[in-house]
Structure 1
Amino acid sequence: MRIVDTHLHLIYPDRFSYPWLATKPRLNWQPWTHEAYFAEAVPLGIETALHMEVDVAEADIMGETEFVLGLPRIAGAIAACRPEHMNFVDQIEQLSEHAHVKGVRRILHESPDDLSQSDLFIENIRHLPDYDLSFDLCLRDDQLYLGVALAQRAPDVTFILDHCGNPIPNGSGLDPWRASITEIAHNPNVVGKISGLVNHCDPGWTAETLRPYVEHMIEAFGWDRVLWGSDHPVATVTGGTLTDWVKATREIVSGASPDEQARLFHRNAERIYKI
């Protein structure tokens, strides 16, 4: 079963500034290049990937986007953005000049809760369908209500919920995350991305650690509104590898039909991100 990775991070500290990496020593010790990623990914069935912005310094947003779009096997990019700024429409107009920019993301899980709820923020993201762009939501599990509000106030925008809404398997666990996912999935303009789960696990996680979370995402969103992403290399910080995550996901969904698996691993990505 071939895979389209909808959430690949590439890190080139010699080219761009990543202020947040100063607190992430396990990621900040080397470049994370497309050559190294695809050397591991291709044998796993990953044919192509979408690059997910890596929260570069604001001055590097356009540079990061243009650089990754020139790399082999990168089918498109989800670029960083700042919907809280008055010049947001100018920014997405510039981004949309690149045909392979598929969407945008503003990191919200480390931002004040009210950032995404202002009238300016909402009005700005309502412009995204005019440019055929989606919006990736990165929220903590205790912030999912913010995503519900966004989805309801901008019903024409396609939102992709990253990392299963960031549950904490070795912390708060399934509840109240499970009810929050069910609530946000009731909004038909929200898609669930199965990624990032292992970031919140203790080392030694297995497919069974992740199974209830993956299965609830599929139950809540349905097979037509789920995507798969690696979140590489962030997913390696708890001791696992890209290979481990791919094998675990395949094991969890092994009982699904080939058609259902194809929707998760590549068909939905091609449709939703217009690859």
Structure 2
Amino acid sequence: MTPTRREFLGWTAAAAATTTAAARAATAAAPASPIIDTHVHLWEPAKQRLLWLEKGSELDRNALWDDYLKAAAGLDVVKAVYMEVDVDPSQHEAEARMVLDQCRKGDTALCAAVIGGRPAFEGFAAYIEPLAKDPAVKGVRQVLHGPPTPAGYCLQEAFVKGVRRLGELGLCFDLCMRHAELADGAKLIEQATGTRFVLDHCGNPPVFGDLAAWKRDVDRIAALPNVVGKVSGIVASAKGRSWKADDLAPVIHHMIEAFGPDRVMFGGDWPVCTLGAPLRDWVNALSEIVRDRKAEDQRKLFHDNAAKFYRLV
């Protein structure tokens, strides 16, 4: 059947739109710069006590370096920073030793680590001081958005003291907390001005909800000079949703505007990101969102700022 002129024009317009979208996607298929992934998790449930990991859940599987390489295939990941996986505190040292052994081999992109620790624990200084001598150890994280960490936990005197000790050792502290408690995070940062901080996962915003309070609190944190923002984690909140880059854009643009182009860095959050999308899709979405920013600022986000902050050579 011969198409009508209206049908022909409709098909032509649709084809043009598809071609434009495809071309745009291809352009944003990967950042124009190499990538330093500042947030890579590795774990083996059979060997580690991961009390947060629900049996039979999507993440209840091995997440090994070879698996990460498959997920990152085609992406120009030149360096990677291991991020602790919230093991039982009794396994902190074993976890740290495991990843530091991998970093020392020097045969992969994995070159540094943010290790697990409990700043408020009585033995924290004795635990962290020997590990801090290893140049691959860049910082410590304690996840603050789950039990047994109620609101205000990070403002306890012992916790603040432990975080200050990190600064004295030249280490940073990663803030991973509920967005409703970001004001507590700001107070902690203000009490430990000699310590450098990283705000993980954009402050865990309600990506698909009201961002007003989150924006206010991120602005307060970003105004402090000893903290950088990690653009990571938010794609996992899209679990079960049909999402697009535009859904994530308000959070990402606000992070960059609040912290400025010199104080933001990319994190893949693999394999947790797979709850919302494969690693490649997350990178592509972020590339699409920032594609109109200066090339040098894109490179800072994906590579340069992390190299500088973590002193990666």
TM-score category, normalised to shorter length? over 0.9
Q: Show CA shifts across 1:27-75 (max 9, x none).
A: 01x2011101112314111122100000011121111112122333211
Is 1:101 equivalent to 2:132 in the alignment? no
Amino acid at match of 1:80: G
CA distance in structure 2 between the partners assigned to 1:92 and 1:173 by the alignment: 39
Secondary structure, aligned partner of 2:128: helix
Q: How does 1:190-201 map to 2 (within 5 A)?
A: 190-201=227-238
Greater shift after overlay, 7-16 or 140-149?
A: 7-16
Give 1:156's aligned residue.
194
1:46 to 68, 71, 77: 77
**Are 1:207 and 2:245 counterparts?**
yes
Moved more, 7-16 or 240-249: 7-16
2:94 aligned with 1:66 = no
Structure 2, unaligned stretches of length 5 or more? Answer: 1-32, 103-107
Partner of 2:175: 137
State the Cα distance separating 1:243 from its structure 2 match: 0.7
Q: Which residue of 2 aligns with 1:80?
A: 116
What letter corresponds to residue 121 of structure 1 in structure 2? F
Query: Does the Cα contact within 8 Å between 1:155 and 1:189 map onto a contact in 2?
Result: yes
Contact kept, 8 Å, 2:37 with 2:267, in 1: the verdict is yes
Partner SS, residue 10 of structure 1: coil
> What is the alpha-carbon distance in structure 2 between the residues aligned to residue 150 and residue 273 of structure 1?
21
Is residue 300 of structure 2 the alignment partner of residue 263 of structure 1? yes
- Structure 2 distance, partners of 1:3, 1:154, is 30
Within 2, Cα distance between the matches of 1:46 and 1:253?
18
Q: CA deviation at 1:264?
A: 0.6
Paired letter, 1:27? L
Distance 1:271 1:237, change over 3 A: same
Report which stretch shifted further, 94-103 or 130-139.
94-103
Instruction: Give the distance between the partners of 2:99 and 2:172, measured in 1 at CA.
Output: 18
- Encode CA deviations 1:198-248: one digit per residue, 9 max, x unaligned: 12224221111101110000000001110100111111113x100100000
Q: Secondary structure at the match of 2:194?
A: coil
Count how many residue pairs are aligned between Structure 1 and Structure 2.
272
Identity fraction in percent: 39
Instruction: Please name the residue that 1:90 is paired with.
Output: 126
Q: Gaps (5+ residues) in structure 1?
A: none
1:2 aligns with 2:40: no
Alpha-carbon separation, structure 1, partners of 2:83 and 2:199: 13
Kindly report which structure 2 residues correspond to 1:112-127, keeping only aligned pairs within 5 A, or say none: 112-127=150-165
Deviation, structure 1 residue 262: 1.1
The answer (yes or no) to whether the contact 1:2–1:47 under 8 Å persists in 2 is yes
Q: Distance in 2 between matches of 1:34 and 1:252?
A: 28
Runs of 4+ in 1 over 6 A off after TM superposition: none
Deviation of the 1:24 alpha carbon: 7.3
Q: What value does the CA root-mean-square deviation take over the aligned residues? A: 1.4
Question: Is the CA contact (8 Å cut-off) linking 1:51 and 1:68 kept in structure 2?
Answer: yes
Return the letter of the residue paired with 1:31: N
- 1:27 — aligned with what? 59
Q: Normalized against structure 1, the TM-score is what?
A: 0.95
8 Å CA contact retained: 1:167, 1:200: no
Q: Deviations over 1:95-147 (max 9, x none)?
A: 21322011000111112123211111111211112211000000111010011
What residue identity is the alignment partner of 1:173? D
Residue in 1 aligned with 2:281? 244
Contact 1:84-1:115 within 8 A present in 2 as well: no
The SS at the match of 2:185 is helix
Amino acid at match of 2:200: D
| 1:55 corresponds to 2:93 | no
Task: Name the TM-score, length of structure 2 as normaliser.
Answer: 0.84
The separation in 2 between residues aligned to 1:136 and 1:23, in whole angstroms, is 27
